[in-house]
Amino acid sequence: MNKTWNNKAWFMVLPVLLLVAFNAVIPLMTVVNYSVQETFGNNLFFFEGVKWFREVLHSDRFHDSLLRQFFFTGTILAIEIPLGVIIALAMPRQGFWVPVCLVLMALPLLVPWNVVGAMWNIFALPDIGLMGYSINALGIDFNFTRQPASAWFTVIIMDVWHWTSLVVLLAYAGLRSIPDAYYQAARIDSASRWAVFRYIQLPKMKRVLTIAVLLRFMDSFMIYTEPFVLTGGGPGNTTTILSIDLVKAALGEFNLGIAAAMSIIYFLMTLLVCWVFYSAMMRGEDE
């Protein structure tokens, strides 16, 4: 049988291509161009080869902010994923309280990022903020504008407050998709609570949890506004994570070459992580 081939549908892809070209490809090309040159402004550029890449890769400042970034991302993942699953398990499965819980959970997600930063900034102030004042009243010396540990504690708890809900909602959706028959079978076999979780709920949540980890990893890896508003990377440089360091280099010091090289390395890291998660998800789908 002769098949009619009609490739006109490819033209439908054109708008997307144009959009991606303007908001991703062209800016990215520009960053690549900047990363191999030195500029003193006024669109005057001098070719420098891979000098900036070598400099960034050997700079302690970059290593430190990368380490801080991994510490931040690792910590919030270690807290948010288990906490989100626990809350999702504790949420009612039917009845009046379901929508109430869902709306309550969705609330933090609706707050704009800079507002979250400003809120927690005030909340954690040692003299007038409720949290900062209470902690100090307990006899613990807490001042996030001066002590690195307090600053880290505030940044992490802020992110946990803002984003655990996302994990909860995803995990809850995963739980809701488990048919009752599974639970009935578990009851017949008199399975323990742990066995139900380990062999029914966790495998069924695997896919959504992969998505949750991916989303939280990417978001936390690119997070800027909240920690910037809260601590501005301080005290000193102690909470300067990658994105804050990058903006400092690009806009604070106007080191376009170094900032561009940093951006590309940063981009390659996110690209690799995306690919790994994507492959893991595709593999999970096959199984």
Partner 1 sequence: MDLTWMAWTWQTASFFAAIALMIAGMAVWEWARPGGAPRHGVLGLDTTRGDRLFVSLLSSAYIHLGWLALMTGPLWWATLISFVFAIAVFRWV
Residues contacting partner 1: total by CB under 8 A: 27
| Secondary structure E strands in the chain | 37-39, 45-47
Residues of 163-184 as b/e, b for ≥16 C-beta within 10 angstroms?
bbbbbbbbbbebbeebeeeeee
Which residues fall within 8 angstroms of residue 236, CB to CB, at 6 or more apart?
148
Give the relative orientation of helices 130-137 and 113-123 as an angle to the nearest 10 degrees: 30
Tell me whether residue 89 or residue 265 sits nearer to partner 1 (CB atom).
265
Among 18, 78, 106, 271, binds partner 1 (CB under 8 A): 271
CA distance 222 to 233: 14
Nearest 5 degrees, angle CA 222-CA 264-CA 275? Answer: 65
Among 3, 8, 193, 283, binds partner 1 (CB under 8 A): 283
Residues 3 to 62 in contact with partner 1, rule: CB under 8 A: 26, 29-30, 32-34, 36-37, 39, 43, 45, 47, 49-50, 53-54, 57-58
Tell me whether residue 30 or residue 192 sits nearer to partner 1 (CB atom).
30
Contact yes or no for 179/267 (Cβ under 8 A): no
Tell me whether residue 33 or residue 184 sits nearer to partner 1 (CB atom).
33
Residue 214 in the binding site for partner 1 (CB under 8 A) = no
Tell me whether residue 29 or residue 115 sits nearer to partner 1 (CB atom).
29
Contact yes or no for 216/80 (Cβ under 8 A): yes
CA distance 151 to 287: 44
2-10, 79-87, 93-101, 274-282 -> range binding partner 1 (CB under 8 A):
274-282
**Least CB distance from residue 69 to partner 1, whole Å?**
17
Residues 55 to 94 in contact with partner 1, rule: CB under 8 A: 57-58
97-105, 201-209, 240-248, 269-277 -> range binding partner 1 (CB under 8 A):
269-277
Tell me whether residue 167 or residue 262 sits nearer to partner 1 (CB atom).
262
3-11, 13-21, 81-89, 270-278 -> range binding partner 1 (CB under 8 A):
270-278
Contact yes or no for 178/201 (Cβ under 8 A): yes
CA distance 185 to 200: 10
CA distance 188 to 219: 42
Residues that bind partner 1 (CB under 8 A): 26, 29-30, 32-34, 36-37, 39, 43, 45, 47, 49-50, 53-54, 57-58, 265, 268, 271-272, 275, 279, 282-283, 286
